[in-house]
Amino acid sequence: MPTIAEKLKSRESDLTRAERQLSAAILDNYPIPGLGSITELAELAEVSTPTVARMVQKLGFSGYPEFQHALREELREIISNPVEKRAEQAPELPEGHMLNRYAVAVYDNIRATLENVNLEEFDTLCALLADTNSRVHIAGGRLSGTLAQNFYLHLQMIRRDVFMIPPRASWTHSVLDLLPGDTLILFDIRRYENATLLLAEMAHERGVKVVLFTDQWRSPIQKEATFTFAARIAVPSAWDSGVALLLLIESMIAKIQEDHWDTVKARNDELEAAFDRTRLFRKFT
């Protein structure tokens, strides 16, 4: 089932100017703005209460109370810890082997993620990441750091000036090297990490383009981000799945290397020569 954030993004072209202003206010610190009264939300977005009521109905809700209830349920999912997630799933686990149930959930996550990808933004970001006039920095959180590392290693084989920002305790040093016009790619999924948000804020203040890879509820970092890509992560497990996010970044790597194959090949020919010289990989010939 789509989140309210996903509904707002997908219906953007159908909204009036005032409704788009309201949508931006909700998404800016999602889902917190919608948890107050209808009057408070209208005042925050600087629109009328009838505008709020109309947009809520456009999203398929009978009224503001039902809309707010859905937001509260989303907030509960966002902040739930692994034990809470497992306890909630246990009574409803369907019959069958875990491998099959997990695979079905991952398939559904991929499908829902792709339905909400803006292809124009996807292509624009790929072009930006291929532009060696803009340096690229990448960082992740406690678990999403593995996705960040994966993206870094592949992007670094494609182009120069790609940097991996170290974990929380050390990243303050890296802020000094963030320059206007650089691009910072961040991975942040529930439970959103304060340190990653602070890094995004400090980078934005320095004139850096922030790119966010997040979940369907969208990290607070989105208010600092030029590009936000949201993937589905919920599976029948106490932990979340990164498969849909991995699909996004691997697809981007594939597009960049395909669009710029001549330069990518030249760089990797040099890399393979270095591998041979260091005898990094086992040879069977």
Q: What is the pLDDT of residue 92?
A: 56
Q: What is the pLDDT of residue 91?
A: 52
Q: What is the pLDDT of residue 81?
A: 60
Where would I find the H helices in 34-144? 38-45, 49-58, 64-79, 82-89, 98-115, 119-130
Q: What is the pLDDT of residue 35?
A: 87
Distance of CA 56 to the CA centre of its chain: 25
What would the DSSP string read from start to end of 215-262? ETT--GGGGG-SEEEEE----SSSS---HHHHHHHHHHHHHHHHHTHH
Tens of pLDDT, residue by residue, the chain (285 residues): 788 888 898 888 889 999 999 999 998 888 888 888 899 999 999 999 999 999 999 999 999 999 999 988 888 877 766 555 555 555 555 557 888 888 889 999 999 999 889 999 999 999 999 999 999 999 999 999 999 999 999 999 999 999 999 877 678 889 999 999 999 999 999 989 999 999 999 999 999 999 999 999 999 999 999 999 999 999 999 899 999 999 999 999 999 999 999 999 999 999 989 888 888 877 765
CA distance 45 to 18: 9
User: Could you give the angle at the alpha carbon of 136 between the alpha carbons of 129 and 9, nearest 5°?
Assistant: 60
How large is the greatest C-alpha to C-alpha distance in the chain, in angstroms? Answer: 74
Q: What is the pLDDT of residue 178?
A: 95
- From the number of C-beta atoms within 10 Å of its C-beta (0-12, 13-18, 19+), residue 122 rates as middle
pTM flag (> 0.75): yes
What would the DSSP string read from start to end of 7-64? HHHHTGGGS-HHHHHHHHHHHHTTTGGGGS-HHHHHHHHTS-HHHHHHHHHHTT-SSH
